[in-house]
Structure 1
Amino acid sequence: MQTEQTVQSVGGFFNPSKGIDYYAYLGDSQFSIQFQKPSSTTPWGTPGQMLANNFQISESDIGMLEHTGRFQWHLKQNGNEIASRYAEIAPSDGSLGDCNMANMMQTPSLVSPGYAVSYGFYDSGSGKIGTLTNQDQSYVYATANLSNWMRDLVNASPAVGSAPFNCFVLPGAHDAGMFDLNCCQTLLNNDTFRSNLGAAVGVGIATLPTSVVNRIIINLAFTQKDTVNTMLDLGIRYFDFRPGYCITDPTAAGGLYHQHNFIPGYSYEQFLQNCLSWLMSHPTEIVVVALGHSGFNKDFMRASTDTLSAYLDGAMQATHTAGEAGEMPAIVVGDKSDLSSSYNNLIAARKRLIFLNQYGFPNDAAKYDSYNDGYQTTDINVILSALNNMNAGGQNGNDYTVLQLQGTASGAGGGIFGSVATLNDASSPLMSTKAKFDNATYSWLMNNVPGRFSNQQLLVCLNDFADNALTQICSTLTRQRAGA
């Protein structure tokens, strides 16, 4: 796979080109995809494997009268097209023209009764920002509908249902509440918030238009682009959620939101209600939530455990899942002590929302986590090294294990967050590494999870921009760990 922008010589003339790395995962043989540039098409129909390749769109591809060349993909299910996207890319300077993926927050995953599709796009522009890639990025992952994958797995492999829930491998959303701008937009005129934001990106933001400030916030802190319900429909079953008060709210008078350092995301109240309502309509599924406060900018942002418990009680009342007096709740809340129970027993007991917290509760869960300071990187080898240091011995004394698959683009250097503010809404540094990291880490999971970790401890695979490919891989690994 090429990774450098090139300038070729054709017939004695310079022939500048702009590259795009493209990636795919197809869950089964009913799906096929074509990636295209003006002079070339790459078909892919191999299920269960990660595709990685590169196109160079050059001036010779588009002709003397054209400024851009079109990159596009067409996804088919049983021969019928179900999705397609495109980007017009200028080989002369790498600029992005017409594109229906040009706003990251408007590229939601597609879920229908017959399929699920996750996709994303990154515009590298001139490619001169720190150590970020100078190749545009595109990925497409297609699977069957996975909204009831636990049920489907147990129906196909009954041994999974009778094995301890610890045998499951759960696809997880890292910083799961960082997809919603609503709270941030209410703070844009707050001096405390704006000064923290300017300091974080190293640029003055006082005169910047709201659209650019929003872009900075998204590029700095947004780790997801799908709603809670969509992530659940994609099969995500573990949510890393960090509820806290806003940095502008030292008296703790406001509500709780997912906090990424000082940037607020989704409402904790709405998150709980989303999970509970979704579980009511999917009675065969189990969701695990890990509440934490890692990375909070100020100590006062942290809520009390009593407050967090009150939010859960309120959400259960609002969704009518608490049960009337003397009746069994429609959904029973569990904790780490329930991980040794079987899936079948948990479903029978309606214990379908399990909390594995690191917040200060008496029943907090101890996790064996691959994360370290080296994750502030754009180098996939750093992530693979961290994963390779994980083993069954390290699981001893912990309640569950977390394999983090995403990097933190702050390691790219070069003032990247200030720089990308001048580009467009497809310039998230996290999206620049998403597909490349997935291509390596998902393959690592398939090759290394079997035999490396204890089958008697719950395993979580955590990622940014949570997707259905990870869910299918986790389902396969669960079946293997259960001996089914």
Structure 2
Amino acid sequence: MPSKGIHVFTYIAARGCSIELSVPGKSVSVNDLHRFHNVALEVESSAIESFFDKRGKFNFKVHQDGHQITEQWIDINALTGNASGGTMENIATTPSIFHGDNLIISYGLYEAGKGHDLLPNRHQCYVTVTPSYAHWIKDVAPPGSEAEKKPFSRLVLPAAHDVGMNSMASSEAVLRKAGGAVVCELIHDSPVLAKLADTLSRDAIGLIAPNIIFSLAITQKDSLEAMLKIGARYFEFRPAHLHNAIANRGALPDRLYFQHSAIPGMAYDAFLKGVVTFLREHPSEIVVVQLRWDGVPEVCKKPSNEEKKKYLDEALREAHGEIVPGNLHDMKHLSIGQLRSDKKRLIMLDSVDSLSTYTDEGNATLDGDSILKALPRVLTPDAQKGKAFVNIQCQATASNIVKAVVYSILEASVTTSCLLATKGLCDSKILPWCRENVVKQCNLDRLVVMMNDFIDGATADVAVDLSRQRLKK
């Protein structure tokens, strides 16, 4: 009988919690701590009573100490494969759930539809249940402890890849003011989407503009505050002025924005203000920000040193001297305690040379295997020499695979992202590797960053545990 599959990836790091996964006629419960589970389920048409309506509900429920914390669901048609309705129909409306001050549930759903070529033909869902890591540096290196005397560079920092692309807000403002055709002018700097622009007419691109932006650029779906509470402590930001095609139409105020190629995301002043606000509310935490401009086209003017200083000074003014900026030397040589006592809890880096595990070819994967194979080859002692820190990039970049992008743009909806299609599968392979190998592969004198799309509790939990291990060395 016809059926539609769903592949679910789960991770639990909070005691007393369980995740119940259900489709018509079957239910599976997982409760193991610190274990990456892969569960394959089928919405079977034979298990659905209605003769005409072959939609069956997939849902997950999270319980803690016997009490239900949340239930999320979507209807899946066993005949067509379509997923619709429910609470998980739209990626943009699946933010992490905060239960009190101690529990965070991060989740997401990729709608596979009928499946297409390289992309999965099963729907993909991930669910992580972890403690809040809003003050995890305080927990692993409490003020006054021996751990606080260790170098800050011993830590492993969770990181949100392309933090500034966490919503469609800026892009939607552009589309409302300038129309979808403006996207045609923005995507020629993308090697993949330039081919799309050469194939389709300007009007056609205008009609599917939201799909293009979502498939190409949206890499996060939580607010900055939520990412920090999930545990993120390292961010790369590419601040630049708007592309002329946007600026000339007055679609957005003239200020610095995160630029994903020429697509604008979060405003730089809002980002800095959000980080400073978090640090003031969490006085033992430390955040590292790296400014970069790789991939930003020349037409998007980079800020001058004076402009960068103006933005930073403005953000720090509200801290009234409680926070002062640290630099590369501070990050590499000072202890956690020294950074706290010197008030250097916002470390600002500018185009610093790091050892990144990312390559266009290796990360252009749908199953993560090429990333996994590359990690031990890249993270060698010789390769780490002279580098300011190590950046392990866990995310796959399916947006570099032409066929995957074309499907996401032309045939899928704005709620489906080819980037999200790889999330659960890659995490279930790469995060366990990091947990088992980072301590022995990475130099103790080098800060380590673990970067990921759609930052989640599993990424944070692994990084925090690795930080504890390295602090004991």
Q: TM-score if structure 2 supplies the norm length?
A: 0.91
User: Structure 2 unaligned runs (5+)?
Assistant: none
Corresponding residue for residue 25 of structure 2: 39
Deviations 1:115-134 (A, max 9, x none): 11111011001101x41111
Moved more, 240-249 or 188-197: 188-197
Shift in CA distance, 131/369, structure 1 to aligned 2, threshold 3 Å: same
Q: Report deviation, 1:41.
A: 1.0
- For residue 306 of structure 1, what is the amino acid of its counterpart? E
- Are positions 1:143 and 2:143 aligned together? no
Moved more, 193-202 or 443-452: 193-202
Shift in CA distance, 406/439, structure 1 to aligned 2, threshold 3 Å: same
- In the TM superposition, what are the counterparts of 1:334-483 in structure 2 within 5 Å? 334-339=326-331, 340-358=333-351, 365-374=352-361, 375-389=363-377, 390-414=379-403, 416-417=405-406, 419-483=408-472
Shift in CA distance, 419/229, structure 1 to aligned 2, threshold 3 Å: closer
Indicate conservation of the 8 Å contact 1:159/1:483, yes or no: no
Provide the C-alpha distance between the structure 1 equivalents of 2:65 and 2:153, rounded to a whole number of angstroms. Answer: 36
Q: Report deviation, 1:311.
A: 1.1
Provide the C-alpha distance between the structure 1 equivalents of 2:460 and 2:438, rounded to a whole number of angstroms. Answer: 14
Provide the C-alpha distance between the structure 1 equivalents of 2:156 and 2:461, rounded to a whole number of angstroms. Answer: 10
Provide the C-alpha distance between the structure 1 equivalents of 2:70 and 2:422, rounded to a whole number of angstroms. Answer: 23
Q: Report deviation, 1:447.
A: 1.0
User: Structure 1 unaligned runs (5+)?
Assistant: 1-14, 324-328, 359-364
Name which of 222, 225, 237 aligns with 1:226.
Answer: 222
SS at the partner of 1:195?
helix
Corresponding residue for residue 331 of structure 1: 323
Name which of 137, 140, 143 aligns with 1:153.
Answer: 140
Provide the C-alpha distance between the structure 1 equivalents of 2:202 and 2:56, rounded to a whole number of angstroms. Answer: 34
Q: Report deviation, 1:208.
A: 7.3
Indicate conservation of the 8 Å contact 2:398/2:404, yes or no: no
Indicate conservation of the 8 Å contact 2:95/2:222, yes or no: yes
SS at the partner of 1:477?
helix
Shift in CA distance, 196/379, structure 1 to aligned 2, threshold 3 Å: farther
- Are positions 1:239 and 2:235 aligned together? yes
Shift in CA distance, 429/466, structure 1 to aligned 2, threshold 3 Å: same
Q: Report deviation, 1:104.
A: 0.5
Q: Report deviation, 1:71.
A: 0.9
Shift in CA distance, 238/316, structure 1 to aligned 2, threshold 3 Å: same
Corresponding residue for residue 4 of structure 2: 18
Percent identical? 30
Provide the C-alpha distance between the structure 2 equivalents of 1:157 and 1:61, rounded to a whole number of angstroms. Answer: 60
Name which of 206, 227, 231 aligns with 2:203.
Answer: 206
Provide the C-alpha distance between the structure 1 equivalents of 2:406 and 2:240, rounded to a whole number of angstroms. Answer: 24
Indicate conservation of the 8 Å contact 1:102/1:424, yes or no: no
Provide the C-alpha distance between the structure 2 equivalents of 1:284 and 1:206, rounded to a whole number of angstroms. Answer: 52
Indicate conservation of the 8 Å contact 1:377/1:410, yes or no: no
SS at the partner of 2:278?
helix
Corresponding residue for residue 106 of structure 1: 93
Provide the C-alpha distance between the structure 1 equivalents of 2:135 and 2:296, rounded to a whole number of angstroms. Answer: 34
Q: Report deviation, 1:314.
A: 1.8
Shift in CA distance, 249/48, structure 1 to aligned 2, threshold 3 Å: same
Provide the C-alpha distance between the structure 2 equivalents of 1:191 and 1:48, rounded to a whole number of angstroms. Answer: 45
Corresponding residue for residue 113 of structure 2: 125
SS at the partner of 2:350?
coil
Q: Report deviation, 1:257.
A: 0.5
Q: Report deviation, 1:98.
A: 2.1
SS at the partner of 1:301?
coil
Indicate conservation of the 8 Å contact 2:143/2:284, yes or no: no
Indicate conservation of the 8 Å contact 1:171/1:238, yes or no: yes
The root-mean-square deviation of aligned C-alpha atoms, in Å, is 2.2
Corresponding residue for residue 267 of structure 2: 267
Shift in CA distance, 250/205, structure 1 to aligned 2, threshold 3 Å: closer
Deviations 1:2-51 (A, max 9, x none): xxxxxxxxxxxxx1111110011100332111111111111100001111
Provide the C-alpha distance between the structure 2 equivalents of 1:205 and 1:249, rounded to a whole number of angstroms. Answer: 14
Q: Report deviation, 1:290.
A: 0.9
- For residue 14 of structure 2, what is the amino acid of its counterpart? D
SS at the partner of 1:338?
helix
Moved more, 115-124 or 174-183: 174-183
Corresponding residue for residue 8 of structure 1: none
SS at the partner of 2:373?
helix
Corresponding residue for residue 254 of structure 1: 254
- For residue 469 of structure 2, what is the amino acid of its counterpart? Q
Shift in CA distance, 32/216, structure 1 to aligned 2, threshold 3 Å: same
Deviations 1:255-278 (A, max 9, x none): 111000111100001000111111
- In the TM superposition, what are the counterparts of 1:26-65 in structure 2 within 5 Å? 26-63=12-49, 64-65=51-52
Moved more, 298-307 or 18-27: 298-307
Provide the C-alpha distance between the structure 1 equivalents of 2:183 and 2:440, rounded to a whole number of angstroms. Answer: 49
- Are positions 1:73 and 2:60 aligned together? yes
Provide the C-alpha distance between the structure 1 equivalents of 2:108 and 2:404, rounded to a whole number of angstroms. Answer: 24
SS at the partner of 2:166?
coil
Shift in CA distance, 372/237, structure 1 to aligned 2, threshold 3 Å: same
